Amino acid sequence: MSQIPKKQLKLIIALMEALPSDIDNPPAYNCLYDGFEDLYSGPYCQQTAAKLEQQGHALIITKAGEQYIRLNRRDDFLVSFAAGALEAQRGNSIDYAEYSNHPFAFCCGYTHALNKQKSQMPNYNLSKLFVCHGFECEDTSEVYSQ
């Protein structure tokens, strides 16, 4: 699998950091996930979302004038994203993506975990509403799952 374009990775991370849509007073910068509708909403680049749609990773849905994203094969996507993050944290090769149900999602999780290790990004923390699917929250010591 080739390198994930930066804008696509940024959008995928925003979706993986999405909070449930029924949460009270979510931060304005967060994407939200509506489990009933299976849709993501929030601030994201429409061109990047369109590119993900062209590649078959997502579907853009317009309802009442608002655009939403639905991940194709969302269950496979989530499992593969978390698996990629875990393999990166363990120091394993990205070559495991070949065995994943969703190599693109695996590579996104893998790349995000590596970038997080290399930078001074803050740790995920559920009580601060800063979470990411497949990553451990420092305050609960549990891996967050959408």
Q: Which of 24, 54, 71 is the last residue of a domain?
A: 71
Number of domains forming the structure of the chain: 2
Mark whether 11 and 59 lie in a shared domain.
yes
The two tokens of residue 118 are 């290399």
Q: Which comes out higher in pLDDT, residue 56 or 95?
A: 56
Eight-class DSSP state of 124 = P
Same domain, 67 and 83: no
Residue 80 lies in a domain: yes
pLDDT at position 2 over 70: no
How much is the average pLDDT of 118-130? 92
- Given pLDDT bands bounded at 50, 70 and 90, which one contains residue 140? very high
Across all residues in the chain, what is the average pLDDT? 92
Same domain, residue pair 85 and 65? no
Measured CA to CA, the distance from residue 22 to residue 129 in angstroms comes to 13
> pLDDT (tens digit, 9 = 90+) per residue, 60-106?
999 988 899 999 999 999 999 999 999 999 999 898 888 889 999 99
The range of the structural domain enclosing residue 54 comes to 6-71
The answer as to whether 81 is a domain residue is yes
Task: Say yes or no to pLDDT of 45 above 80.
Answer: no
pLDDT band per the 50, 70, 90 thresholds, residue 25: confident
Is the distance from CB of 62 to CB of 53 less than 8 angstroms?
no
For residue 95, being part of any structural domain is answered with yes
Please state the pTM of the whole predicted model. 0.93
pLDDT at 23: 86
Owner of token pair 């062209």: 54
82 and 121, same domain (yes or no): yes
Does 93 map to a domain?
yes
Quick check: is 140 in a domain? no
Q: Are 27 and 14 in contact (CB under 8 A)?
A: no
Question: Do residue 52 and residue 81 come from a single domain?
Answer: no
> Would residue 146 count as lying in a domain?
no
